[in-house]
A and B are shown apart, each in its own frame.
Chain A
Amino acid sequence: MCIEANHFLSPDMRRVFEKAVSEEKSPLGRQILGQLQENLQIAGEDMIPICQDTGMAVVFLKIGQDVHVEGGSLRKAVDEGVRQGYIEGYLRKSVVGDPLERVNTKDNTPAVLHTEIVDGDQIEITVAPKGFGSENMSRVFMLKPADGIEGVKEAILTAVRDAGPNACPPMVVGVGIGGTFEKCALMAKHALTRDLSEESPVPYVRKLEKEMLEKINGLGIGPGGLGGTVTALAVNIETYPTHIAGLPVAVNICCHVNRHARRVI
């Protein structure tokens, strides 16, 4: 799944690319979008990773409560999959074993593993390799309830504006609103894995996603940050109940290589 995600984008990503090419008004922007489409084609045909930053492997496991895992450690199994995928797939090893000592682990482990217990007897695995050009530009805002929806809009725009050309636009923007400090960040990351052709089931969130996409594209950053009318390909928002005293907002920026592979076992 690591190899698949790093060489092929999902069909919804390819569709938004085509839409972007038809909508971009800047000639240089269109040239860059064309280069990115050609890049995707070469990546798949010649098995060269779409981007050299093949990411830190973020893995979401939705584990059905009726599932019993036998034969060893699930954590070790996930890391072993990442290790094999990154070595056999000629993917870059971009992980250091300690954030300050900074010695490369040479096999891209460990993965960042998020597990959730759900109903049922299956396990849904989502592998989302995350590059750090865009990860570095992501933000958490602990807003006040009085900041309201306008405060949320301003937070999203601030994050995207500051990210600018560093985050390899056109971007995909994942947003988490509500919960706690860590919950909103996790929602923002998870939002990036939602199929871009699916809309939020919540009417006001759906409206906010559309409005923010328009506003972000009005920032003028454009493909490659070289100016244009397509700065983001999509905005995906997740929400969760929160505390009477708070309004946490996380903005997880992803580059145009929004990678994820999903399987159910």
Chain B
Amino acid sequence: MDKKLSVPINRDDASALQAGDYVLLTGTIYTARDAAHKRMQETLDAGGELPFDIKDNVIYYMGPSPAREGRPIGSAGPTTASRMDKYTPVLLDMGMGAMIGKGKRSPAVKEAIVRNGSVYFAAVGGAGAILSKRILSSEVIAYDDLGTEAIRRLEIKDFPVVVVIDSRGNDLYETAVNEFRTI
């Protein structure tokens, strides 16, 4: 039975999730990938404020393809999360609710997830067309000059993700692979 959850996500809801849960997310999330993370970090280093309130909010590591006329967004699947590892612990310590991406995370990110009772979701990589259908609206809210890498606010409905790292530090990429490994 698929779980349904609303986003932003509070610590209680995030902590209740377990690695391996298939979850449908509905609500508001923000996109940011390499260049936007770099700029957010530079903003924080200079004592500035982030372009959106990070508390309980979910960052989706994604840079879409351009939208055709009449559509909110183009293809919109996850990018590899590990490239954002360098910037992630700070954001988690500031209260970020969760992240959506694909691929492994660093030990430092895992520790920050556990320390903050957060969660890391994976969306299916390379399924950008089907995922775009679960995005109702998209608006650039910062760093417009970065093109596909700008920060966007997305309204999503029943957006399918899998819990990969839960708040206890369980990592589905490790446990599930062991289950099917024969060599």
Q: Which A residues are closer than 8 A to B by beta carbons?
A: 25-26, 28, 31-32, 35-36, 38-40, 42-43, 46-54, 90-94, 102, 104, 106, 131, 133, 136, 164-166, 168, 215, 218-222, 224-229, 255-257
- Is B159 engaged at the interface, CB distance under 8 Å to the other chain? no
**Contact, CB under 8 Å: A164 / B162:** no
**Contact, CB under 8 Å: B125 / A255:** yes
Shortest Cβ distance from A227 into B: residue: B176
Most buried by B among A28, A38, A53, A131: A53
> 1/0 per residue B57-73: CB within 8 Å of A?
00000111111100100
- Is B167 engaged at the interface, CB distance under 8 Å to the other chain? no
User: Assuming A47-B68, A222-B177, what are 17 further A-B pairs, CB within 8 angstroms?
Assistant: A26-B176, A31-B22, A39-B128, A39-B129, A42-B133, A51-B127, A51-B128, A52-B75, A90-B65, A133-B102, A166-B80, A218-B183, A220-B177, A220-B178, A225-B177, A226-B176, A227-B179
Most buried by A among B20, B66, B125: B125
- Is B51 engaged at the interface, CB distance under 8 Å to the other chain? no
**Contact, CB under 8 Å: A35 / B127:** yes
**Contact, CB under 8 Å: B162 / A166:** no
**Contact, CB under 8 Å: A166 / B177:** no
With contacts A35-B124, A92-B148, A226-B162 taken as known, whether A50 is within 8 angstroms of B129 at the C-beta atoms is yes
- Is B28 engaged at the interface, CB distance under 8 Å to the other chain? no
Chain B's interface size range is 35 or more
With contacts A49-B65, A168-B102 taken as known, whether A106 is within 8 angstroms of B147 at the C-beta atoms is yes
**Contact, CB under 8 Å: B129 / A220:** no
In whole Å, how far is A147's beta carbon from the nearest beta carbon of chain B? 19
Residue from A39, A90, A220, A226 in contact with B130 in the complex, judged by beta carbons closer than 8 Å: A39
Residue from B67, B82, B128, B177 in contact with A227 in the complex, judged by beta carbons closer than 8 Å: B177
Specify which chain A residues have a CB less than 8 angstroms from the CB of B118 in the assembled complex: none
In whole Å, how far is A56's beta carbon from the nearest beta carbon of chain B? 14
**Contact, CB under 8 Å: B82 / A166:** yes
30 CB < 8 A contacts A-B: A28-B162, A31-B22, A36-B124, A40-B129, A48-B71, A50-B129, A52-B64, A52-B77, A53-B63, A53-B128, A90-B66, A90-B68, A92-B75, A94-B148, A104-B146, A104-B147, A136-B80, A164-B104, A165-B103, A165-B122, A166-B80, A168-B102, A168-B125, A220-B181, A224-B162, A225-B103, A225-B122, A226-B172, A255-B125, A256-B126
The 8 closest A-B pairs by CB, nearest first: A227-B176, A220-B181, A168-B125, A166-B103, A220-B180, A52-B75, A218-B183, A92-B65
**Contact, CB under 8 Å: A226 / B122:** yes
Shortest Cβ distance from B132 into A: residue: A48
**Contact, CB under 8 Å: A92 / B64:** yes
**Contact, CB under 8 Å: A224 / B124:** yes
Shortest Cβ distance from B82 into A: residue: A166
Within the assembled complex, what's the spacing in Å between the Cα atoms of A262 and B67? Answer: 27
Residue from B22, B102, B133 in contact with A28 in the complex, judged by beta carbons closer than 8 Å: B22
